[in-house]
Amino acid sequence: MGKTFAEKALGKAAGYEVVANQVVTVEPDWCMSHDNGAPIARTFKKIGVKNVKYPERICFILDHAVPAPSSDHAVNHKEVREFVKEQGIPNFYDVKSEGGVCHQKMCEEGYALPGLVMVGSDSHTCTYGAYGAFSTGIGRSEMAAVWATGKLWFKVPESMKVVVTGKFKPGVSAKDFILKFIGDVRADGADYMSVEFHGDGIENMSIAERMTLCNMGIEFGAKNAVCKPDQKVLDAIKANAKSDKWEPLWADEDAVYAAEYHYDLGDIEPGVAKPHKVDNYAPIEEVKGTPIHEAFLGSCTNGRIEDLRLAAGILKGKKVAVRTVVIPASWIVYRQAMKEGLFDIFLDAGCIICNPGCGPCMGNHEGILAPGEAAISTANRNFKGRMGDKESFIYLASPMTVAASAIKGEISDPREAL
């Protein structure tokens, strides 16, 4: 019987053959934390161990509220800095023009690598599956224990196979597909499963698009989400792989799956997730004309250079009708966007460009909504109150839909703006 990706990756880490539902203990290759490293450090101190087991495997990336918008946030940052120093942790991205959203940094700095086991104290750690890693979010106390012991147990997940063929039509992108998919399988569709994206539809996608898919794995319950580490990935990691333990792993043809789905990307149209759930999908036709008060282009889901280019293509020579916040996912993306002239397009259109970080994605700052207001956002969550006020509304959409909607001040079909 063939093996799934999860069975291979966790088997490799355990050092012996494993099958779905077996419990294994492994030593994760990387442990990522962000601003919440501060409460984790407090928990770590209660364990009674003086030093973390593998300082070189820990990464800290301050991003959730940078620069600190409140004293509480500043205290978190301060405690992270102190912990990094005290424990001799080499991989630290402070509030400087070298950071960005943690998941973007883990990918662009060469931590995300095929076949590695990666954990993060953030639910969207599943993003690194775009590079063929087995990556998953874990809780804070769990992370404190991993720092102390270097180990973590997993139940090897059962797997879901999503076979994706074809190409998107103009005006449609990976975000439209994943929103539609989540609408179909619902928020618990892949609970504790390893989700594998297969097919030429995925091969045709850029790594950025694959990151958008894997990033949203947790929004339908996945333990991890992953794409085959093909030549595109091998080329991308050549320059700066931060570990030599990687190995491209992929599922066998005859692996056994708990569920299987098939999609043709040519059938996908622009769509949104309506308030207040990510699986509340609607095709654009259904929501077209809904007034919005803010547009947000950014986050770990869609703040990459490829996303900014798509939005700029629509905003070029136009004016936005509502406040539009653009946040490149990292300073590398920021510089690139500046170099390509995208900032001129955004600024001429009336957009605000903020420093890389999570921004308003989870309501910390840089674009909080007032009661009764609605936003269209490229992020990944639209829960009640997510952008600051319980009486506000969030529609999730692709960068092109967000740009087209910003111009009209109402939810709009990007195909009409091309």
Ligand X SMILES: CC(C)[C@H](C(=O)O)[C@@H](O)C(=O)O
Which residues belong to the annotated binding site for [4Fe-4S] cluster? 300, 358, 361
Please identify, using beta-carbon distances, which residue of 396 and 407 lies nearer to ligand SF4. 396
| Residue nearest to ligand X as judged by C-beta position | 123
The binding track of 363-382 with respect to ligand X, each residue x by CB under 6 A or -, is ------------------x-
CA–CA dist 194, 223 (Å, integer)? 6
Q: Which region, left, alpha or beta, applies to residue 381 given φ > 0 means left and ψ of -120 to 50 means alpha?
A: beta
Helices (H), 53-186: 71-87, 102-108, 140-149, 174-185
CA–CA dist 124, 388 (Å, integer)? 20
Residue 161's DSSP bridge partners are: 196, 260
Q: Could you say whether residue 234 binds ligand SF4 (CB under 6 A)?
A: no
Among candidates 344, 302, 301, 298, which has minimal Cα distance to 324?
298
- Pairing between β-strand 193-198 and β-strand 158-165 as defined by DSSP bridges: parallel
Please identify, using beta-carbon distances, which residue of 100 and 171 lies nearer to ligand X. 100
How many CA atoms are closer than 13 Å to the CA of 225, on its beta-carbon side?
A: 26
> Which residue numbers belong to the known binding site?
300, 358, 361
Compute the least distance from the CB of residue 69 to ligand X, in Å: 15
Place of tokens 């630290």: 92
Q: Could you say whether residue 361 binds ligand SF4 (CB under 6 A)?
A: yes
Compute the least distance from the CB of residue 136 to ligand X, in Å: 11
Ordered DSSP codes for 352-411: EE--SS-TTTTTSSSSPPPTT-EEEESSS---TTTTS-TT-EEEE--HHHHHHHHHHTB-
Q: Could you say whether residue 358 binds ligand SF4 (CB under 6 A)?
A: yes
Compute the least distance from the CB of residue 128 to ligand SF4, in Å: 13
Ordered DSSP codes for 113-137: -TT-EEEESSGGGGGGGGGT-EEEE
Choose the contact partner of 101 out of ligand X, ligand SF4, none; CB within 5 to 8 A by kind.
ligand SF4
**Where does this chain touch ligand SF4 (CB under 6 A) — which range of 218-226, 309-317, 338-346, 358-366?**
358-366
Interaction residues for ligand SF4, span 142-201 (CB under 6 A)? none
Q: Could you say whether residue 362 binds ligand X (CB under 6 A)?
A: yes
φ, ψ of residue 373 to 5 degrees: the values are -85, 155
Interaction residues for ligand SF4, span 48-67 (CB under 6 A)? 64
Task: Annotate 179-209 with b (16+ C-beta within 10 A) or e (fewer).
Answer: bbbbbebbbebbeebbbbbbbebbeebebbb
Choose the contact partner of 36 out of ligand X, ligand SF4, none; CB within 5 to 8 A by kind.
ligand X
Interaction residues for ligand SF4, span 106-125 (CB under 6 A)? 122, 124
Interaction residues for ligand SF4, span 264-303 (CB under 6 A)? 299-300
Interaction residues for ligand X, span 4-63 (CB under 6 A)? 36
Please identify, using beta-carbon distances, which residue of 107 and 265 lies nearer to ligand SF4. 107
| The binder of ligand SF4 chosen from 112, 226, 376, 379 (CB under 6 A) | 379
Gap between the terminal Cα atoms of the chain: 48
Q: Could you say whether residue 355 binds ligand X (CB under 6 A)?
A: no
Q: Could you say whether residue 187 binds ligand X (CB under 6 A)?
A: no
Choose the contact partner of 173 out of ligand X, ligand SF4, none; CB within 5 to 8 A by kind.
none
Please identify, using beta-carbon distances, which residue of 124 and 198 lies nearer to ligand X. 124
Q: Which residues contact 206 (CB under 8 A, 6 or more apart)?
A: 232, 306
Place of tokens 């259904």: 286
Q: Which region, left, alpha or beta, applies to residue 32 given φ > 0 means left and ψ of -120 to 50 means alpha?
A: beta
Compute the least distance from the CB of residue 416 to ligand SF4, in Å: 29
Please identify, using beta-carbon distances, which residue of 122 and 373 lies nearer to ligand SF4. 122
Tokens of 85: 């120093």
Residues that bind ligand X (CB under 6 A): 36, 64, 122-124, 137, 362, 381
Residues that bind ligand SF4 (CB under 6 A): 64, 101, 122, 124, 299-300, 358, 361-362, 379-380
